């Protein structure tokens, strides 16, 4: 996995994740999934890799750090902010390529024998990442690795072989005694008991479902890094190592007038390879 650009990885047996499924259903029942109807479909597949891709015996989980110069935050008053993961080439494309390369290198040459997952398939990737020993699930609901922090993207490779030795799950939480992200979240979207209320989450409202209802995004145009930039585990995390995550533009070069007048054609020519295009394709 290192040879194809992953920073951290682990391998998990393909078994049902019953505890994580129960917590997810409680979260859904609490009305926390704003217009995310797709989350209510295929719940059994999300928490059972064998149901998602029959024949799966193991799941290889890989993580890549993308922290860059804007991950630590913007100057106060700058109101055209873009989440730092969206400054580079779309991670879905990068991780899919890397996982396909990994499958080849591991000898899985029959494409249908494996499944590559990067957000697009229903799969409980954060629960799997914890079981793969990559990190703990923080109060900001993100996987936090003790070295890389939370500015990471995750991808999974479902394979039809058992592994001689599986990873040790990450057992501890580095959130004990902290709560900075709860205090920092501009909209109070982080539930003190755990989980995010996506109705209030700026990231969800600007990325997953740009709402037609009025919503104050607190200066964020796309995504939101507030609950990450304040996290002490990100303070000493290194910047990206994988060149695929080099930023291709800087939001600091653009003001609100630019964004207000931006045509889809110009957006495509300037930002066409980045996740930001989701904003223009709705
Ligand atoms: S800011 Fe503190 S509570 Fe929030 S995710 Fe980071 S360590 Fe955990
Ligand atoms: S992404 Fe922003 S709005 Fe959403 S929980 Fe984190 S700090 Fe709050």
With CA atoms as reference, report the closest residue to 231 among 171, 128, 125, 141: 141
**From the CB of 145, is ligand 1 less than 6 Å away?**
no
In the predicted model, is pLDDT for residue 120 greater than 90?
Answer: no
In the predicted model, is pLDDT for residue 74 greater than 60?
Answer: yes
119 a catalytic residue: yes
Given 37, 79, 93, 119, which residue is catalytic? 119
As a whole number of angstroms, the distance between CA 6 and CA 26 comes to 33
CB-based pocket (< 6 A), ligand 2: 140, 185, 187, 189-190, 196, 201-203, 224, 226-227
Q: What string of DSSP letters covers 233-253?
A: HHHTPPPP-SGGG--S--GGG
Query: What pLDDT score does 40 carry?
Result: 80
In the predicted model, is pLDDT for residue 38 greater than 80?
Answer: no
As a whole number of angstroms, the distance between CA 243 and CA 5 comes to 9
In testing the pocket of ligand 2, which one of 192, 224, 228 has its CB within 8 Å of the most ligand atoms? 224
Give the residue whose CA is nearest to atom 3 of ligand 1: 179
**From the CB of 17, is ligand 1 less than 6 Å away?**
no
Query: What pLDDT score does 242 carry?
Result: 98
Which atom, in ligand 2's list, is nearest to the CA of 181? 7
Q: Which two structure tokens, joined as six digits, stand for 37?
A: 């109807």
Which atom, in ligand 1's list, is nearest to the CA of 140? 5
Query: What pLDDT score does 282 carry?
Result: 56
Enumerate the β-bridge partners of residue 143.
137
Q: What is the mean pLDDT of residues 198-212?
A: 82
User: pLDDT tens digits for 208-226?
Assistant: 755 567 889 999 999 999 9
Mean pLDDT, the chain, whole residue set: 93
Please answer whether residues 47 and 17 qualify as being in contact, where contact means their C-beta atoms are separated by less than 8 angstroms. Answer: yes
**From the CB of 111, is ligand 1 less than 6 Å away?**
no
As a whole number of angstroms, the distance between CA 231 and CA 182 comes to 10
Give the residue whose CA is nearest to atom 1 of ligand 1: 231
Q: What is the mean pLDDT of residues 60-66?
A: 98
The pLDDT confidence band at residue 278, using thresholds 50, 70 and 90, is confident
In the predicted model, is pLDDT for residue 147 greater than 60?
Answer: yes
Buried b (16+ CB within 10 A) or exposed e, 246-276: ebebebeeeeeeeeeeeeeeebeebbeebbb
User: pLDDT tens digits for 232-271?
Assistant: 999 999 999 999 999 999 999 999 999 999 999 999 999 9
In the predicted model, is pLDDT for residue 47 greater than 70?
Answer: yes
Phi, psi dihedral angles at 198 (to 5 degrees)? -70, -15
Q: How far apart are the first and last CA of the chain?
A: 34
- Compute the distance from residue 101 Cα to the ligand 2 centre, in Å: 33
């Amino acid at each position: 996995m290192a040879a194809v650009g992953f920073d951290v990885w682990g391998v998990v047996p393909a078994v049902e994740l019953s505890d994580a499924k129960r917590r997810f259903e409680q979260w859904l029942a609490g009305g926390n999934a704003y217009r995310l109807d797709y989350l209510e479909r295929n719940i059994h597949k999300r928490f059972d890799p064998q149901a998602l891709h029959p024949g799966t015996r193991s799941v290889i989980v890989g993580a890549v750090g993308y922290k860059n110069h804007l991950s630590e935050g913007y100057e106060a008053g700058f109101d055209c902010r873009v989440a730092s993961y969206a400054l580079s080439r779309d991670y879905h494309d990068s991780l899919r390529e890397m996982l396909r390369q990994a499958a080849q290198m591991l000898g899985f040459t029959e494409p249908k024998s494996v499944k590559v997952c990067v957000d697009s398939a229903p799969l409980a990737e954060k629960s799997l990442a914890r079981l793969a020993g990559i990190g703990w699930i923080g109060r900001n609901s993100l996987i936090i690795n003790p070295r890389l922090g939370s500015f990471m993207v995750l991808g999974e490779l479902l394979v039809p072989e058992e592994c001689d030795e599986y990873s040790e799950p990450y057992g501890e939480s580095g959130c004990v005694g902290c709560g900075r992200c709860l205090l920092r979240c501009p909209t109070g979207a982080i539930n003190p008991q755990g989980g995010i209320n996506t109705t209030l989450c700026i990231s969800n409202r600007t990325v997953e479902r740009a709402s037609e209802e009025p919503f104050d995004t607190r200066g964020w145009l796309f995504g939101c890094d507030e609950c990450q930039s304040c996290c002490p585990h990100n303070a000493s995390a290194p910047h990206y190592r994988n060149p695929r995550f080099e930023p291709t533009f800087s939001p600091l070069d653009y003001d609100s007038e630019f964004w207000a007048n931006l045509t889809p054609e110009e957006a495509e020519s300037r930002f066409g390879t980045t996740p930001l295009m989701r904003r223009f394709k709705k």
